[in-house]
Amino acid sequence: MEGIGVFDSGVGGLTVLKALRKALPGEFFYYLGDTARVPYGTKSGETVVKYAMQNAKFLVSVGIKYLVVACNTASSYALDVLRKELSIPVIGVIRPGAEEAVPVTRGKIGVIGTRSTILSGSYLREIKKIRPDVEVFQKATPLFVPLAEEGMFYHPITLSVAEMYLAEMRDRKVDTLILGCTHYPLLKKAISEVMGSDVRLVDSAESIARHIKEYLKITNNLSNSSGGVKYFVTDSPESFKRVGEMFMGEEIEDIELIDIR
Amino acid sequence: MEGIGVFDSGVGGLTVLKALRKALPGEFFYYLGDTARVPYGTKSGETVVKYAMQNAKFLVSVGIKYLVVACNTASSYALDVLRKELSIPVIGVIRPGAEEAVPVTRGKIGVIGTRSTILSGSYLREIKKIRPDVEVFQKATPLFVPLAEEGMFYHPITLSVAEMYLAEMRDRKVDTLILGCTHYPLLKKAISEVMGSDVRLVDSAESIARHIKEYLKITNNLSNSSGGVKYFVTDSPESFKRVGEMFMGEEIEDIELIDIR
């Protein structure tokens, strides 16, 4: 059965998978978490391209009609190479995040992400390509990832951390905030409470789903099966299951440990 | 010049290095942070042994008379192999941590560490080997690492996190707490405030320093130079410098990027 492939360095991409399953319930998904080599953010571009290519080739060998790179670092570095080497369409998370934010902003977009994502400036560049006159405020918010992995989605401590990181953006009247890390949608309620209910929080998942749907429609490839997911990890299925079930909000049954090298 | 070698998967081992420099000011140190492959805690034992051996052989090639494995995961898995393969003495962080705690406890020792350290039960085993009748309480405290790396050593949020993790241990009247992760000595003040001033906080560094001093004295190998450190990393010297200087409380000048594979 031809499915949709999604890979990330670890569990973060599960928030993208969750949104895609909701938007495309008739599709079957293959999710690969490269847990043996997480995180990608601290590795060189060359290394990240190599890992991304290995992940993509594995998913292609399983049988996919579309590839989602649900990882900011791999989206930054590897998208061009993957598109050149693969014969199926490939989408990342950065351009779709920018496409989601630009049409709704009144002029001030905030971007939050890991330190490496913010340092790369990749969201800033994509936003400016679409609309150069938008003001962009960037902020690295590294504690959000471990807070999400601890399951503290709406905990008083998470609210304090959000206040610490986001007060400045709120005071600068940012009206649209890009959640530039796949972990962050889990903290939406806490982030929104700090930013205020009039600030739009956007992530890449909805825009990605739209792109995929459109492509599958045009190519007459939309599936109407009962859907489902098969998971692959490169290390520690137990800890992937523990954190992954919290992220997906459902039981994760079918996890296969693979050796990708 | 023959020095003392210290390696860790990243920056955490710098707290051990800092304590060793203070205790052995006449020695020259070589510190290797395997930043390209951090973290070790999520990797298989086999992989960790391979990495530890590569790190050790690199430091031996530079010229060392003693090796400190300043990483809990590598200490758990690789110590026996390293001792068998190398002709210099090798010390880890787990046994010394237990040796530091057992003589001072009134019967209840707490151990905090990363999830993988706590799951491994390695401190528990070493404590029980020395004194089987001690009660041991273990707790994984994963948020402490990113809090330390954000420089929030004594921040209100850090105090709240410490309260969340440690209230139960305090209520169970733990009298001695092993800081079972090399990042944690940076949070000593916050941890002590939550546990109470009558609870002894111990880490491995002092015990390691005593072992090294004794060995170098016996073998007539103590150095009386002006001391110093040379740093090696396997990726991102810039971010190592940024976090490392915060950890060491001094400027880090001499960092060399190496390819260890």
Predicted pLDDT of residue A44: 86
Answer whether A157 touches B (CB < 8 Å): yes
Asked if A77 and A108 sit in the same domain, the reply is no
Considering the domain architecture, whether residues A107 and A187 belong to the same structural domain is answered as yes
Please tell me if residue B150 touches chain A, with a CB cutoff of 8 Å: yes
Question: What would the mean pLDDT of A113-130 be, rounded to a whole number?
Answer: 96
Judge if B199 and B210 occupy the same domain.
no
Angstroms from A80 CA to nearest CA on chain B: 24
Q: In this predicted structure, what is the pLDDT of residue B236? A: 87
Mutation target for B interface from A150, A165, A166, A234: give the one with most B CBs within 10 A: A150
What ipTM did this prediction achieve? 0.92
Q: Compute mean pLDDT per 10 residues along chain B, 261 residues long, and list them.
A: 93 97 97 95 90 98 98 95 98 98 98 94 97 98 97 98 98 98 97 98 94 96 93 93 96 93 76
Out of A35, A157, A164, name the one closest to residue B42 (CB).
Answer: A35
Sorting pLDDT into bands at 50, 70 and 90, what band is A261?
confident
Query: Which residues in chain B are contacts of A146 at CB distance < 8 A?
Result: 142-143, 145-146
Mean pLDDT across the stretch A123-129?
98
Q: CB–CB of A143 and B161 under 8 A?
A: no
Question: Are the C-beta atoms of residues A221 and A65 closer than 8 Å to each other?
Answer: yes
H-helix or E-strand spanning residue B94: helix B94-101
The answer, for A233 touching chain B at a CB cutoff of 8 Å, is: no
Give the pLDDT of residue A167: 98
Query: Do A199 and A220 fall into the same domain?
Result: no
Among candidate residues B203, B220, B241, the one where a domain is terminated: B203
pLDDT reading at A205 higher than 70:
yes
Partner residue opposite A235 with nearest CB, options B36, B43, B235: B43
Domain end call among A169, A185, A203? A203
Chain B residues with CB under 8 Å of A237 CB are: none
Neighbours of A246 (CB within 10 A): 17
Report pLDDT for A86: 98
State the residue for tokens 């001391």: B227
Show the domain range for B79: 3-92+206-257
Q: Does residue B115 sit at the A interface (CB-CB below 8 Å)? A: yes
Which of B35, B42, B160 is facing A236, going by the closest CB pair? B42
Q: Is A181 a catalytic residue?
A: yes
What is the total count of domains within chain B? 2
Q: Report pLDDT for A67.
A: 98
Are B229 and B191 found together in one domain?
no
Residues of B designated catalytic: 71, 181
CATH for B227: 3.40.50.1860
Contact B43 A149 (CB under 8 A): no
User: Any CB–CB contact under 8 A between A192 and chain B?
Assistant: no
Whether the predicted pLDDT of A202 surpasses 70: yes
Cβ of residue A221 closer than 8 Å to a chain B Cβ: no
Instruction: Answer yes or no: do A214 and A119 share one domain.
Output: no
Q: Which residue has the higher pLDDT, B44 or A101?
A: A101
For the question of residue A71 being annotated catalytic, the response is yes
Residues of B numbered 52-111 whose beta carbons fall under 8 angstroms of chain A's beta carbons: which are they? none
Same domain, A216 and A199: no
Query: Which residue of B150, B166, B183, B240 is the best one to mutate when testing the A interface, meaning the one whose CB has the most A CBs within 10 A?
Result: B150
Pair of tokens at residue A20: 């895609």
Looking at the structure, do residues B178 and B237 belong to the same domain, yes or no? no
Q: Is A127 in the same domain as A186?
A: yes
* From B35, B43, B143, residue closest to A36, measured CB to CB: B43
What are A4-13's pLDDT values in tens digits?
Answer: 999 999 999 9
- Partners of B44 on chain A (C-beta within 8 Å) are 36, 235
pLDDT at A65 over 70: yes
Question: Cβ contact (<8 Å) for B142 and A142?
Answer: no
Q: Are residues A100 and A163 in the same domain?
A: yes
Lowest-pLDDT range of A44-53, A134-143, B191-200: A44-53
Tell whether A160 and A63 lie within a shared domain.
no
Do residue B111 and residue B88 come from a single domain? no
Question: Are A235 and B44 inside 8 Å of each other by CB?
Answer: yes
**B260 near A CB under 8 A:** no
Q: In the prediction, which pLDDT does B1 show?
A: 62
A90 token code pair = 């490939």
Q: Report the residue from B115, B150, B156 with minimal CB separation from A143.
A: B150
